[in-house]
Amino acid sequence: MIYKICACFLALFVLVAACLAADKPISDDLITDQVRIKLTGDQDVGKDDIKVDVKQGVVTLSGTVDSDREKGKAAKLAKKVKGVKQVVNNITLKEKASGK
Protein backbone atom coordinates (compact mmCIF):
# COMPACT_ATOMS: atom_id res chain seq x y z
CA MET A 1 0.00 0.00 0.00
CA ILE A 2 2.78 2.43 0.88
CA TYR A 3 4.41 1.72 -2.48
CA LYS A 4 1.23 2.74 -4.32
CA ILE A 5 1.03 6.00 -2.37
CA CYS A 6 4.71 6.75 -3.06
CA ALA A 7 4.22 5.92 -6.74
CA CYS A 8 1.25 8.29 -6.93
CA PHE A 9 3.21 11.10 -5.28
CA LEU A 10 6.16 10.45 -7.58
CA ALA A 11 3.90 10.53 -10.65
CA LEU A 12 2.28 13.74 -9.43
CA PHE A 13 5.70 15.29 -8.80
CA VAL A 14 6.91 14.38 -12.30
CA LEU A 15 3.72 15.81 -13.84
CA VAL A 16 4.06 19.10 -11.96
CA ALA A 17 7.77 19.35 -12.81
CA ALA A 18 7.00 18.76 -16.49
CA CYS A 19 4.37 21.51 -16.48
CA LEU A 20 6.72 23.98 -14.81
CA ALA A 21 9.56 23.15 -17.21
CA ALA A 22 7.39 23.65 -20.31
CA ASP A 23 8.75 26.24 -22.74
CA LYS A 24 7.43 29.70 -22.08
CA PRO A 25 6.56 31.81 -25.10
CA ILE A 26 9.44 33.97 -26.26
CA SER A 27 8.74 37.70 -26.53
CA ASP A 28 8.94 39.54 -29.83
CA ASP A 29 11.52 41.89 -28.31
CA LEU A 30 13.79 38.98 -27.42
CA ILE A 31 13.39 37.49 -30.90
CA THR A 32 14.21 40.89 -32.45
CA ASP A 33 17.38 41.16 -30.37
CA GLN A 34 18.48 37.61 -31.17
CA VAL A 35 17.91 38.04 -34.92
CA ARG A 36 19.87 41.32 -34.92
CA ILE A 37 22.72 39.65 -33.05
CA LYS A 38 22.81 36.79 -35.58
CA LEU A 39 22.77 39.19 -38.54
CA THR A 40 25.37 41.64 -37.25
CA GLY A 41 27.63 38.79 -36.16
CA ASP A 42 27.73 37.29 -39.65
CA GLN A 43 30.62 38.34 -41.89
CA ASP A 44 28.48 38.37 -45.05
CA VAL A 45 25.31 40.17 -43.95
CA GLY A 46 26.63 42.00 -40.88
CA LYS A 47 27.90 44.89 -43.00
CA ASP A 48 24.48 45.51 -44.57
CA ASP A 49 21.66 47.71 -43.30
CA ILE A 50 18.95 45.17 -42.49
CA LYS A 51 15.95 46.14 -40.41
CA VAL A 52 14.16 43.56 -38.26
CA ASP A 53 10.50 43.73 -37.22
CA VAL A 54 8.78 40.96 -35.23
CA LYS A 55 5.08 40.51 -34.55
CA GLN A 56 3.83 37.33 -32.84
CA GLY A 57 6.93 35.40 -33.85
CA VAL A 58 6.80 36.44 -37.52
CA VAL A 59 10.05 38.16 -38.51
CA THR A 60 9.99 40.72 -41.33
CA LEU A 61 13.37 41.63 -42.79
CA SER A 62 13.82 44.78 -44.87
CA GLY A 63 16.70 46.87 -46.14
CA THR A 64 19.26 46.36 -48.88
CA VAL A 65 22.07 43.88 -49.54
CA ASP A 66 24.58 43.37 -52.35
CA SER A 67 23.48 39.93 -53.60
CA ASP A 68 20.75 37.29 -53.64
CA ARG A 69 23.08 35.08 -51.63
CA GLU A 70 23.21 37.64 -48.80
CA LYS A 71 19.43 38.04 -48.94
CA GLY A 72 18.95 34.29 -48.59
CA LYS A 73 21.54 34.00 -45.84
CA ALA A 74 19.82 36.72 -43.80
CA ALA A 75 16.54 34.82 -43.94
CA LYS A 76 18.25 31.55 -43.06
CA LEU A 77 19.95 33.12 -40.04
CA ALA A 78 16.67 34.61 -38.84
CA LYS A 79 14.90 31.25 -39.13
CA LYS A 80 17.44 29.67 -36.78
CA VAL A 81 16.43 31.91 -33.86
CA LYS A 82 14.31 30.18 -31.24
CA GLY A 83 10.71 31.39 -31.29
CA VAL A 84 10.66 32.42 -34.96
CA LYS A 85 7.54 31.03 -36.63
CA GLN A 86 8.02 32.53 -40.08
CA VAL A 87 10.34 34.90 -41.95
CA VAL A 88 9.06 37.45 -44.46
CA ASN A 89 12.03 38.51 -46.54
CA ASN A 90 11.44 42.01 -47.98
CA ILE A 91 15.15 42.69 -48.48
CA THR A 92 16.00 44.28 -51.81
CA LEU A 93 19.22 44.29 -53.80
CA LYS A 94 21.36 47.41 -54.00
CA GLU A 95 21.46 48.91 -57.44
CA LYS A 96 24.87 48.69 -59.03
CA ALA A 97 26.29 52.02 -60.11
CA SER A 98 26.95 52.08 -63.84
CA GLY A 99 30.39 53.16 -64.98
CA LYS A 100 29.05 55.68 -67.49
The pLDDT tens digits for 23-63 are 678 899 999 999 999 999 999 888 888 999 999 999 999 99
81-98 residue pLDDT tens = 999 999 999 999 988 765
pTM of the model: 0.72
Could you list the beta-strand ranges (E) of 1-100: 49-55, 58-65, 86-93
All structural domains of the chain with their residue ranges = 24-93
pLDDT at 82: 95
Mean residue pLDDT of the chain comes to 83
pLDDT at 19: 53
90: nearest Cα among 75, 69, 73: 75
24-93: CATH number: 3.30.1340.30
Say if strands 58-65 and 86-93 run parallel, antiparallel, or are unpaired: parallel
Q: Report helix, strand or coil for 78.
A: helix
